[in-house]
């Protein structure tokens, strides 16, 4: 007979419910009241707006906020500062928001599907697949444009994740978390070896890949934004609708099945969503590490393990991290800059270590 549990912010529910994956005090977030969680989301959205404004104002040439607002409201192509805002920084900021959205949500979904707090999108071969496809596009098809990289990268990420899911689904148990992780590791190393072999034989591919693979928002124009935005939008909607699904998967396959969920289809939907998101982010900026790994833990520390709250918080906190890393990269090496992938790793790694030491990471 199932028992009854209560939490500080919801009425009694039966244990085993898909909406209460974990309710022990150690696993509850810092903010337990729904009204405060909503307030936290609003504050994080405001913070994202301020960081985006700072991204438009800060660079090799600092601009006053008033000039930035004038460029957005009443653009004058004859004004050089307006050209800087509209022609260079606006697309960079928008792409940073898209990349943050995609990485934060895909990281949370990956950890939910794998039930592994150390999982990130790269575990399904997304980054490796994108890199391999870009290399083949350069070496075989002579692709040199950034838009070409995007499409090759996106297709490569999707194919790699599909292969991983197919391999992980072999056997009676279907696509279990352990099998998905093992298949992802195997495919990732195979693709990495292929990429290195091609770049050793093709100098042009090596030169192009070494700038893309570090992770950067520099030089991504509005055409990149318009190409990637539909994929990110579809992925964001699908991710935000998968909160109950991930809550059920967090209880284990047997419990999820007893609740009437078709676990195989649910996991396939979640994997497809994270492939779209992580593939789009990787195609835009190259592989950026630690965002998809760290941000879901920050969100869980605030909200607890309920993915209906974790996912919206990831969607706001991850763009803040990406844009902050991009801003710092422009400031610390002025007049040059550090790529956002480098700064994100420098920010994410120590914070993640501190988080692991000071607070038990939730078991998924």
Unique residue bearing structure tokens 């039930």 = 115
Q: What was the pLDDT predicted at 318? A: 96
With H, G, I as helix, E, B as strand and everything else as coil, classify residue 11.
strand
Within the chain, residue ranges assigned H as helices are 34-57, 65-73, 80-83, 90-114, 126-139, 146-168, 177-201, 203-212, 222-240, 243-250, 253-258, 263-285, 291-303, 307-332, 340-358
Q: How many CB atoms lie within 10 A of CB 110?
A: 28
The domain segmentation of the chain, as residue ranges, is 29-51+78-358
Q: How far apart are CA 206 and CA 82, in angstroms?
A: 36
184 CB-near residues (< 8 Å, 6+ apart)? 123, 124, 125, 164, 168
Q: What was the pLDDT predicted at 63? A: 92
292 CB-near residues (< 8 Å, 6+ apart)? 103, 104, 106, 107, 108, 110, 120, 121, 122, 278, 318
Tokens of 126: 């997304």
Q: What was the pLDDT predicted at 335? A: 77
DSSP class of 10: E
Kindly report the pTM of this predicted structure: 0.84
Q: What was the pLDDT predicted at 76? A: 87
Report the candidate in 274, 281, 297 with the shortest Cα–Cα distance to residue 349.
Answer: 297
Residue numbers of the chain with a pLDDT score lower than 70 = 1-29, 174-175, 355-364
Q: What was the pLDDT predicted at 355? A: 63
User: What stretch of H or E contains 7?
Assistant: strand 4-7
Q: What was the pLDDT predicted at 26? A: 39
With H, G, I as helix, E, B as strand and everything else as coil, classify residue 4.
strand
Tokens of 5: 């549990």
Question: Are 273 and 235 spatial neighbours (Cβ–Cβ below 8 Å)?
Answer: yes
> What would be the CATH architecture of the domain defined by 29-51+78-358?
Orthogonal Bundle (1.10)
Unique residue bearing structure tokens 């993915």 = 307
Q: What was the pLDDT predicted at 307? A: 94
Q: What was the pLDDT predicted at 361? A: 53
């Amino acid at each position: 007979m199932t028992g009854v549990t209560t939490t500080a912010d919801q009425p009694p529910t039966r244990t085993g419910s898909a909406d209460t994956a974990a309710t022990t005090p150690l696993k509850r977030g810092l903010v337990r009241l729904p009204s405060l969680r909503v307030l936290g989301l609003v504050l994080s959205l405001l913070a994202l707006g301020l960081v985006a404004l700072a991204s438009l104002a800060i660079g090799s040439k600092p601009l006053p906020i008033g000039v930035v607002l004038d460029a957005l409201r009443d653009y004058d192509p004859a004004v050089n500062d307006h050209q800087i805002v509209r022609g260079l920084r606006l697309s960079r900021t928008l792409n940073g928001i898209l990349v943050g959205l995609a990485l934060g949500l895909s990281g949370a979904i990956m950890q939910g599907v794998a039930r592994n707090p150390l999982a990130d999108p790269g575990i399904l071969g997304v980054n490796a697949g994108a890199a391999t496809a870009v290399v083949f596009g350069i070496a075989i098809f002579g692709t040199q444009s950034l838009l070409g990289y995007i499409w090759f990268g996106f297709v490569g990420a999707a194919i790699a994740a599909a292969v991983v899911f197919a391999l992980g689904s072999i056997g009676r148990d279907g696509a279990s978390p352990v099998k998905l992780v093992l298949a992802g590791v195997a495919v990732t190393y195979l693709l990495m070896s292929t990429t290195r072999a091609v770049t050793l034989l093709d100098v042009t591919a090596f030169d192009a890949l070494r700038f893309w693979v570090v992770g950067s928002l520099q030089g991504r124009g509005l055409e990149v934004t318009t190409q990637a935005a539909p994929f990110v939008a579809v992925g964001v909607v699908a991710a935000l609708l998968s909160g109950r699904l991930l809550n059920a998967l967090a209880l284990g396959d047997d419990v999820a099945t007893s609740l009437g969920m078709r676990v195989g289809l649910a996991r396939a939907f979640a994997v497809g969503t994270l492939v779209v998101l992580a593939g789009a982010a990787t195609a835009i900026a190259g592989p950026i590490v630690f965002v998809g790994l760290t941000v879901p833990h920050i969100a869980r520390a605030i909200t607890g393990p309920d993915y209906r709250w974790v996912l919206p918080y990831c969607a706001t906190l991850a763009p803040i991290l990406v844009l902050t890393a991009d801003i710092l990269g422009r400031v610390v090496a002025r007049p040059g800059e550090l790529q956002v992938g480098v700064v994100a790793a420098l920010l994410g790694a120590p914070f993640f270590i501190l988080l692991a030491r000071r607070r038990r990471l939730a078991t998924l």
